[in-house]
Amino acid sequence: MADQPKPISPLKNLLASGFGGMCLLFMGHPLDTVKVRLQTQPPNLPRQPPMYSETLDCLPKTLRRGITGLYQGMAATIIRVTPMFAVCFFGKKLQQKHSEDVLSYPQLFAAGVLSGTFTTGIVTPGAPIECWLQFLASSGETKYIGTLDCAKKLYQEFGIRGIYKRTCALNPGGWRHCTEGIFNWAVAIPQDVLKSHFQTAPPGKYPNGFGDVLRELIWDEGITSLSKGSDAVMTRAFPANVACFLGLEVATPNL
């Protein structure tokens, strides 16, 4: 008789997914930092060039502060990366009886919806911390001295509801991990621009949520403002996602 496929081990799935997520993070975080800085830079004054014109302009300017400037806010992400990616890949595993099963397109869609829904609860608390640290590093401010200090002060200022509110109004993070890659970012980048502005805004600036952000951006900078950082994420998408799935495939048989 042929060997029966082995059932999927939840612990093995957790560890392998976490390792894949860490590989993606180390490969992709520098360009994620560049993306946030491109998105949240102040509007340029008349006849004045913008602070950053594109990824290739922002990247060397960030490196002038040292390589660590590209990894601002990564600690907030690495804490949640293992459960986040475990849940992402678990959405697919729920559709399979064995790891070798090939899913149909409706099953893949359902897996993406499940993953995106459940990862939002994991992504949300760390996203404002990561975004604030990346944003403030580009402006030269030292409002927070690290991830824990940022988390503590955000909680003191806004409370737990404030942290969740600043992301759940519009969070493409879950969808981003459902169908990783360039095509996904073509859809998600406008939402991500709004999210970055919403998270780094002073308290009360956008009382009606992301609708206020959208109106302000289009009024001040035009519709093209919704594509800020697209070159950074398109550049990031391929190597980061290759690193993720390579890490997953390397880890799985060795666990």
At residue 115, the pLDDT reads 75
Q: Which one has a higher pLDDT value, 135 or 165?
A: 135
Helices 147-168 & 105-139, crossing angle to 10 degrees?
130
**Per-residue confidence (pLDDT) for residue 217, from 0 to 100:** 92
Following DSSP, what letter does each residue of 52-89 receive, concatenated?
Answer: --SHHHHHHHHHTT-GGGGGTTHHHHHHHHHHHHHHHH
* CA distances from residue 86 to 40, 83, 93, 97 in whole angstroms, order as listed: 30, 5, 10, 17
Provide the pLDDT confidence category of residue 178 given band limits of 50, 70 and 90: very low
Query: What is the rounded average pLDDT of the residues 92-121?
Result: 74
Do 194 and 217 contact (CB within 8 A), yes or no?
Answer: yes
The per-residue pLDDT for 169 is 46
Q: What is the dihedral of CA 126, 130, 135, 136, to 10 degrees?
A: 100
Query: Is residue 87's pLDDT more than 90?
Result: no
**Is residue 208 over pLDDT 60?**
yes
pTM: 0.74
Q: What is the pLDDT of residue 219?
A: 92
Q: Which CATH number fits domain 10-171+234-251: 2.40.50.140, 3.60.10.10, 2.40.50.220, 1.50.40.10?
A: 1.50.40.10
The secondary element (H helix, E strand) that includes residue 169 is: none
